[in-house]
Structure 1
């Protein structure tokens, strides 16, 4: 990898209004709060964006503090390989790892996938998210986007069979994937999976709470079940083989693209399908994850589509088709 010569690291918290609100089983929010890392070397700048995740005890303020604590190591020339050892996985390392990659690409004048020896990403279909709500509200939201080929439906516990049936009725032609965000229990697991299978859902993401998902190993799964909160990096893969068929790779969990690429390779070797996921954030968060899409069965990088506005030089979304980033954005 390119060694960086005394770059300057700065960080900041940004707030991006969501168009309407975004609701999952753990609550609703009206803005995306991101932390941006910027590395400056002469006139060249590399950037990375992360989303602190309250589910893991992260806050924007603590994430920014952890990022800025790396100013001296960065100025001393720490590289990405060493970064993986001195920072824990999570949002702060993601922002810095992706900023390093962006700076490497800009200093070299090459696209980042060329430098990393990865397959060049191509335009791909991303899921579009339907927020959790009463069945009639979710059906109305689904009807507005029923032309999209892939919808991701947020579910949340009691009443989920009615919710998914309502969405299917409103969007009969769309492929459906479901995210329960840990809201189901062992008592309703099989009934909810059956209700999803009955309307042709392709995949259910994280039905049971992380650490309480052993029941998945003892039932016949009627559709693909994907780990999200139960999986973070390569170290967490081996223990999931009996419970899950797929893993959702998110850069804010892995701590950046460097670990995410290694995790994707390891997951494929273990026989897992790959889903590339995101938090609600700007195109700067999505851009590095697009390098994983050539290996993915499912792509869920719709975060910017849920915002009231995106940043300059944003990713191009042609309805549900998302294109690789231009160099002015990232990489």
Structure 2
């Protein structure tokens, strides 16, 4: 098996503004695993608030490259056990795990959903992100959009804006990227109108969630608080929902386990994304048949997508049905 990799720059269609900052580009690391005439692809991106350094990832890949040359084709679960011995950052492990699932499916001539018996019909629609801006600009974008479901980014709580969004009578979620205060959270979860929002994502900074009460009117959804399988039981008294992202948890293999565990515990689940190309989004799309919510708009936000595969069109998840993750790099 051969391992290759390349840095890419993703250009945003417009400045992406969230509580953490403003972004016009994202750096991505494309990973390729090849065997015989088949190639599988995975991706991770540099997110500053996760302190991701892609150059350090490349140094690590060069170190472990000889180990991949010795690897034979095994089941992806066995390959993930091999990855788990390498002490990799979850973002990098995710890129390699997804690339292997893509390669394995292509070698077996079966799609990921076939290999894992995942439903591929009647999938939940994806949301589109409305980045931080003046409320009138945000409302204008919602009203002009062809999408049906929206995730509105907030920087702090502005009660007048909440009222304006509710009056739209649209399918809207809120994502404050940890910018709400304890007092904000108390007001939201005690306000019956707030139940009209489909969910409210990551209201407080990491590990500052004890003010949250899942019995309240707010459907609190954990994002940065929920990094992996081990976080789920601890968060149960506070959150009703959990956002599962492949890069956070380390790939498709652990994401499958995390979704199953979250459902056992009674969470509603979402498969989410960051700003990614179709390489990353293709991997997320194959899990849409297992989750209640979908937020896979990442490739729709960039202007220089370098791959084709599974994709999202006006919120609808389009599975290619092709072997593996169906990824083709242009």
Task: Normalising by structure 1, report the TM-score.
Answer: 0.89
1:175 maps to 171
Consecutive unaligned residues of structure 1, counting only runs of 5 or more, are 1-6
Once structures 1 and 2 are overlaid, which stretch shifts more, 307-316 or 101-110?
307-316
> Match of 1:21?
15
Shift of 1:116: 3.0
Q: CA deviation at 1:193?
A: 4.4
Distance in 2 (alpha carbons) for counterparts of 1:67 and 1:44? 20
Task: Give me the whole-angstrom Cα distance separating, in 2, the residues matched to 1:76 and 1:193.
Answer: 54
Partner in structure 1 of residue 181 of structure 2 = 185
Match for residue 218 of structure 2? 223
How many residues are treated as equivalent by the alignment? 320
**Matched residues in 2 for 1:128 and 1:90: separation?**
25
1:232 aligns to what?
A: 227
Q: Is the 8 A contact 1:264 1:292 kept in 2?
A: no
**1:89 and 1:221 mapped to 2: Cα distance?**
36
Q: Distance in 1 between matches of 2:300 and 2:191?
A: 28
Structure 1 match to 2:268:
273
Aligned to 1:155: 154
CA deviation after TM superposition for structure 1 residue 105, in Å:
0.7
8 Å Cα contact 2:139-2:165 kept in structure 1:
yes
Deviation at 1:308, TM superposition (A): 1.6
Of residues 274, 279, 288 in structure 2, which corresponds to 1:284? Answer: 279
Structure 1: which 4+ aligned runs deviate by more than 6 Å?
Answer: none
- Which of residues 198, 201, 208 is equivalent to 2:197? 201
Distance 1:101 1:249, change over 3 A: same
Offset from partner CA, 1:110-129 (integer Å, 9 cap, x none): 11222234334665410011
Contact 1:94-1:254 at 8 Å conserved across structures: yes
For residues 15 and 116 of structure 2, what CA distance do their matches in structure 1 show? 37
CA positional deviation for 1:158: 4.3
Q: Could you say if the C-alpha distance between residues 142 and 118 of structure 1 is closer, same or farther in structure 2, counting changes exceeding 3 Å?
A: closer
Question: Deviations 1:200-257 (Å, cap 9, x if unpaired)?
Answer: 212101101111111114x752131110000011111110110101110000101110
Distance 2:313 2:47 in 1: 29
The DSSP-based 3-state class of the residue aligned with 2:256 is helix
Gaps spanning 5+ residues in structure 2: where?
A: 73-78
After superposition, the CA RMSD in angstroms is 2.2
Per-residue displacement from partner, 1:106-150 (whole Å, max 9, x unpaired)?
Answer: 1111112222343346654100110011222222222222x5321
Measured in 2, the distance between the counterparts of 1:55 and 1:179 equals 15
Q: Which of 68, 72, 75 is equivalent to 2:69?
A: 75
Check whether the contact 1:284–1:329 (CA below 8 A) recurs between aligned residues: no
Q: Distance in 2 between matches of 1:286 and 1:186?
A: 33
